Structure 1
Amino acid sequence: MDDGAAHPTPDGSSPRSAAEPPDPVDAAVRRIRAHGERVTVARTAVLRVLADTQGYLTADQAFVAVNRAAPGVHRTTIYRALDALERLGLVVQTRMGPDAAAYRLAASVRGDGPPRLHVICRACGHVGEAPADLLDAVARRLAEESGFRLDPTAVALAGHCEACAENPARRR
């Protein structure tokens, strides 16, 4: 008999309502299994940390956050999890200038549209996004002339945000 109350699922978690967006971690775990890969505590913890983060995290920042949720997971294990998740297309690594690489859930996992380019202000460090098709002509030309396949999401385009461009004293 249905009493209208939400009942726990067999694994003890609460069921999601039809109005709630799908959990990106659940979707990512299904994709890991579909690739025949192992779903580990570290991989799941990294996915959860990235899903709960609005911006980007370095590997060290991810390690600190994962260690709060799952103490005892070794730093190297987190690095390996990030590498595996990137290889599976679940996580995107972007070089944000001379600093360490930054990680974020892939757009296909987040469910928020197509991949985006990253732009970073050299003066204030603000990271923004731009449409990925901005570099389509460059990618086509590279492919035609040299056979090179550009991945524009792998690096951030550097320059100056509007506020810093208007204020020469802020520029480096």
Structure 2
Amino acid sequence: MSPEEAARLRQTLHERGLRMTPQRQLVLDAVRELEHATPEQICQRVQRVTPTVNITTVYRTLELLEKLNLVRHTHLGHGAPSYSVEQHEHVHLVCHSCGRVDEAPCELLDDLARSLERGRGFRLDASHLALSGTCRDCVEAEEENQ
């Protein structure tokens, strides 16, 4: 995090009557380092530095950071959401065979988004979307085994 970003964050928290605690900073740092991570993975990373931080603190911190638009969550399948600090300007492609997560541009779903808006008045947020399927490596491995 740049010094300017850190100062903006402290100011935003201060305006809401909050402060940047060491635990909040550790959670934010862990999300940045891990890129796409579940709360449990984030907690494990934070506990390497501060073993007393518990999962409840991590969940509360993630909720606050998401309200501040500093992190975003995506459901990549069943189970806990995955958090990231990056703006999700991509669709997640989740391989149900190996668990690999790839990213594809949201524009790939533009036709679907237009069709949904025209036909149903529904505005698709493709950046919050995960598509399940089989990755190229698993498809090739399946074809070799046939």
User: What range describes the TM-score normalised by the shorter chain of this pair?
Assistant: 0.7 to 0.9
Alignment match, 2:8: 30
Distance in 2, matches of 1:166 and 1:151, equals 31
Alignment match, 1:9: none
SS in structure 1 at match of 2:123? coil
From the superposition, tell whether residues 155 and 46 of structure 1 become closer, same or farther in structure 2 (CA, over 3 Å): same
* 1:119-130 equivalence runs, <5 A: 119-130=93-104
Distance in 2, matches of 1:60 and 1:70, equals 15
- Work out the percentage of aligned pairs sharing the same amino acid: 36
SS in structure 2 at match of 1:71? coil
Give the residue type in structure 2 aligned to 1:45: L
Q: Point out where structure 2 has 5 or more consecutive residues left out of the alignment.
A: none
RMSD between superposed Cα atoms in Å? 2.5
Larger helix proportion of the pair? 2
Alignment match, 1:59: 39
Aligned residue pair count: 141
Distance in 1, matches of 2:3 and 2:43, equals 17
Distance in 2, matches of 1:25 and 1:66, equals 21
- Report deviation, 1:84: 1.7
* 1:40-79 equivalence runs, <5 A: 40-53=21-34, 55-79=35-59
- Report deviation, 1:163: 1.5
Distance in 2, matches of 1:118 and 1:49, equals 20
SS in structure 2 at match of 1:123? coil
TM-score (norm 1): 0.69
Q: Point out where structure 1 has 5 or more consecutive residues left out of the alignment.
A: 1-22, 108-113
* 1:83-102 equivalence runs, <5 A: 83-102=63-82
Would you say the 8 A contact 1:116–1:132 is kept in 2?
yes
Give the residue type in structure 2 aligned to 1:153: S
Cα displacement string for residues 81-125 of structure 1 (whole angstroms, at most 9, x for unaligned residues)? 111212222112111111321111123xxxxxx722111111111
- Report deviation, 1:166: 2.2
